[in-house]
Amino acid sequence: EAGVAQSPRYKIIEKRQSVAFWCNPISGHATLYWYQQILGQGPKLLIQFQNNGVVDDSQLPKDRFSAERLKGVDSTLKIQPAKLEDSAVYLCASSKETATVTGELFFGEGSRLTVL
Amino acid sequence: GESVGLHLPTLSVQEGDNSIINCAYSNSASDYFIWYKQESGKGPQFIIDIRSNMDKRQGQRVTVLLNKTVKHLSLQIAATQPGDSAVYFCAENGNTGFQKLVFGTGTRLLVSP
């Protein structure tokens, strides 16, 4: 079974530029998550999709971050304009469960963003 | 607010020893907990989970203990191997109804041969 795919693996941009990350979840997984992991910290949830609908985006900085999951499969996360504090690894995860409190999340390898 | 913390940022052990990684959580409404392992440059990988109606669960070389009275979670790794070197995160769901995990800051496990 193929895992969660993310691209690009690394991205370096200057502040105020824009960047987009792409995620392809495991086939058949209804739920998709984007997490932000700042160096030395645990992952922090940015947004959670169930199929193509948003179920939680309470921690997404909506003035600069946006995400979509068209057709309930692939997802993109965009940052515009980027700030220095956005430097982090952006992790995508998926899970097969829908409305449930349990279940394993499968993470991709992440996209490391450096903002100069 | 919700917070999940770890007692020790770094744990160093010798190969073959047993390792114990601790985690404190603050949300008494959480009813599901997971341990993840994250190797350098990779995403977190599921190790073991436990529901709040249990106090112990065993996997292959790993055991998770849950003490709801003091809101404490621990991960025990038996016969630790160099391949176990990684950062370990505990996470709780906060009983949110949907799967919304809150991660702790992590403990780095260093295993010396």
Domain with B17, as residue range(s), is 4-112
Minimum Cα–Cα distance from A42: chain B residue? B105
Mean pLDDT along residues B70-89: 96
Minimum Cα–Cα distance from B2: chain A residue? A44
Query: Which CATH number characterizes residue A39's domain?
Result: 2.60.40.10
**Domains held by chain B: number:** 1
Chain-centre distance of CA B4, in angstroms?
Answer: 11
pLDDT value of residue A52: 84
Query: What is the DSSP secondary-structure string of chain A?
Result: ----EEE-SEEEE-TT--EEEEEE--TT--EEEEEEE-TTS--EEEEEEETTEEEE-TTS-TTTEEEE-GGGS-EEEEESS--GGG-EEEEEEEES-SS-S----EE---EEEEE-
Residue A59 has pLDDT above 70, yes or no: yes
**Domains held by chain A: number:** 1
Query: Which CATH number characterizes residue B47's domain?
Result: 2.60.40.10
Query: Taking a C-beta distance cutoff of 8 angstroms, is the pair A97, A104 a contact?
Result: no
Q: Do B95 and A101 touch (CB under 8 A)?
A: yes
Query: Measured between beta carbons, which residues in chain A are less than 8 angstroms from residue B3?
Result: none
pLDDT value of residue B4: 53
Domain with A68, as residue range(s), is 5-115
Per-residue exposure over B63-79, b if at least 16 CB sit within 10 Å of its own CB, e if not: bbbbeeeebebbbbbee
pLDDT value of residue A104: 81
pLDDT value of residue B97: 56
